Structure 1
Amino acid sequence: MKPFQLTYVAADSILLREALSGWGISKRTLASVKYSGGRILVNGKEVTVRHVLEKDDAVTVIFPNEERGEGLIAEEGPLKVVYEDEALLIIDKPPVQNTIPSREHPTGSLANIVAKYFEDQGIPATLHIATRLDRDTSGLVCIAKNRHIHHMLSMQQQEKKMKRRYQALVHGQLEKTELVITEPIGRKSTSIIEREVRQDGQFAETQVQVLRHFDGYSHVKLQLNTGRTHQIRVHLSHIGHPLLGDDLYGGKRDLIARQALHCGELELIHPTTGKLLSFASPLNGDMAKLL
């Protein structure tokens, strides 16, 4: 299996180690290149990170092949691929499917199926899921095919350069057509699963836009400015408008059998080309029916 590799061009005379850092290669990734079978070439010749680059030198980083963890079982299953190249895989996940295996659902997850897909395609990588969705949430999921790419995507998320927009159906009718919920979220002291708004929690911010009111519920669009566990579900429940179907956070299942939440838009900067990529996913059938 051909290893993943990237080539850069030196803009000036600089120590190779410093240049690699400037290109976004983390110390952890560099260590894996050095000690796990990777290589660094300058103008086709292998060098160490102490090498001094000259302007216009071509630096090729050959990343080591990655092995899938023994705990992740590769399984056949349907996979809706929205976009794929040597660095990224964008999947449209159906509702009622785990993103990764859990104790309650050890098989059938998106990760299990992607592992088999990687195996069949000869992709020498373990699984790096950059944007995870809850089991009941449908929509776009971004997967990196390499540890370095995952690191670059994580940096984008920290710098708020990656945008995820959701559509949801919530109980009641919101008074304002647009609002920003800025409330810290932490683990609920009486549960290992639930989160809640609490002052000692992590900063969390969600933008909400009302699209339409219905009899007893509303159709809203949301943008995550942070990525806390259960963030949308907790924030909407906190303001008194829980998701339809989200019985964990106060929603009722009389109209829909799962939390009515869909990741419909994903926007990111490609980690190797620098191009802006935008993806969209239509609402799943159960949510569309309620509209």
Structure 2
Amino acid sequence: MKFDWQYTGAGRQSVRAFLTAKGISRTLLKKIKFHGGQLMVADQPVTVRHMLTMGQTLTVVLPSEPAPVALTPAATPVAVVWEDAHFLVVAKPAQVASLPSHVYPTDTMADRVLGYYQRQGYTNQGIHIVTRLDRGTSGLMLFAKHAFAHTLLSEQLHTQQLQKTYLAVVAGHLTYTHNRITLPIKRAPGSFIQRTTAVGGRSALTEYWVQQQFTRAALVRVRLHTGRTHQIRVHFAAIGHPLLGDKLYGGPQLAGLIRPALHCAQLQFWHPFLGRTIKLTAPLAADLVQLVRMLD
């Protein structure tokens, strides 16, 4: 991956300072130096101490990223929603883990994307998950294709420039058609997986809008303003409206649903290399469509 940037400052500036302002981290600079990358001005190698003058173009060549040794390339196809040289957005099925664990060691989304990269013949095979989803959640999942892209999108997560919108089916009748849940979240006592709302937890903000109110459940559109583990599931359970199918948080079991009724339906982010907003959508998963029809 190669980038050409022209320096337009009036005074002199070091390559290090210039690249830091572009978002290239110290870690990535080390990789460029020691793992096959290049820094050049006028086709001549330079170091980070080189002083740029107005009008000079700095060429940055990122080192190729090999496949992670912890992953096993999977032959399972991925549903590509959008892709360019920097990012890949796929539609994740429910019941597929994002990353390997001792419980789900293979055929995760990371394994499937690695398999896709290899079948496409991509030189870069680093796997950078920007927006991770719980195993039971379906919908849009964003991968960065190189470490620099990952750094820039991770920053957008912190500034909320990257936005995720979910659809969920929750139990009961919601009093408010639009509301915010602001309960802090922390790990539940005695559990490695389960979370709970409690004083002393990390701040969390979930905003929702009711899309359809049924007799015993509601379809809601949800926007996360923070990114706590199981945040949507924990927040709705805390206000007495757990997600249908969510056994971990007491959700009712209906229509044979075997996972939480949660789907990442929309993803929006600023593309730092194209200079424009990318907005993508994914239709509701088939099992949740069936659930909504049964409730209607």
TM-score by length of 1: 0.96
Q: Displacement of 1:229 after TM fit?
A: 0.9
3-state SS of the aligned residue for 1:148? Answer: helix
1:221 pairs with 2:221 = yes
Which residue of the partner structure matches residue 186 of structure 1?
A: 186
Contact 2:72 2:107 in 1 (8 A): no
CA distance in 1, matches of 2:38, 2:281: 37
After TM superposition, give the deviation of residue 94 of structure 1 in Å: 1.1
Instruction: Find the aligned partners of 2:53 and 2:90 in 1 and give their Cα distance.
Output: 41
Mapping 1:110-189, distance limit 5 Å: 110-123=109-122, 124-189=124-189
Q: Shift in Å at residue 209 of structure 1?
A: 0.6
Shift of residue 273, structure 1, vs aligned partner: 2.0
> How far did 1:44 drift?
2.0
- The alignment status of 1:266 with 2:267, answered yes or no, reads yes
Q: How many Å apart are 1:268 and its aligned residue?
A: 0.2
Alignment-mate amino acid for residue 82 of structure 1: V
Q: Could you give the per-residue CA deviations for residues 163-187 of structure 1, whole angstroms, max 9, x where no partner exists? A: 0000000000110011111122111
Structure 1 residue 120, shift from structure 2 partner: 2.0
Code of the aligned partner of 2:279: S
- In 2, the alpha carbon distance for the partners of 1:214 and 1:194 equals 28
Contact 2:207 2:225 in 1 (8 A): yes
Task: Map residues 1-291 of structure 1 onto 2, 5 A cutoff.
Answer: 4-12=1-9, 13-123=12-122, 124-255=124-255, 256-291=257-292
Counterpart CA distance in 2 for 1:187 and 1:43 is 54
Q: Distance in 1 between matches of 2:40 and 2:185?
A: 46
CA RMSD in angstroms, aligned pairs only: 1.1
Give the partner amino acid of 2:204: A
* Whole-angstrom distance in 2 between the partners of 1:24 and 1:275: 17
Sequence identity (%)? 39
* Cα drift, residue 10 of structure 1: 1.0
In 1: Cα distance, 2:120 partner to 2:234 partner: 39
Aligned equivalents of 2:202, 2:5: Cα separation in 1: 37
Structure 1: gaps (5+ residues): none
Structure 1 residue 121 displacement after superposition: 2.0
Question: Residues 269 and 277 of structure 2 are in contact (CA less than 8 Å); yes or no, is this contact kept in structure 1?
Answer: yes
Deviations 1:37-59 (A, max 9, x none): 11111232210011111122211
- Give the Cα separation in 1 of the matches to 2:121 and 2:62: 15
SS across alignment from 1:77: coil
SS of aligned partner of 1:134: coil
Distance 1:271 1:186 in 2: 33
SS for the counterpart of 1:166 is: strand
Q: Determine the C-alpha separation between the residues in 2 that align with 1:30 and 1:159.
A: 24
Comparing 79-88 with 253-262, greater Cα deviation is found at 253-262
Q: Structure 1: how far apart are the matches of 2:161 and 2:207? A: 15
Counterpart secondary structure, 1:112: helix
Q: TM-score, normalised by structure 2?
A: 0.94
In structure 2, distance between residues paired with 1:125 and 1:70: 11
Distance in 2 between residues matched to 1:182 and 1:36, nearest whole Å: 45
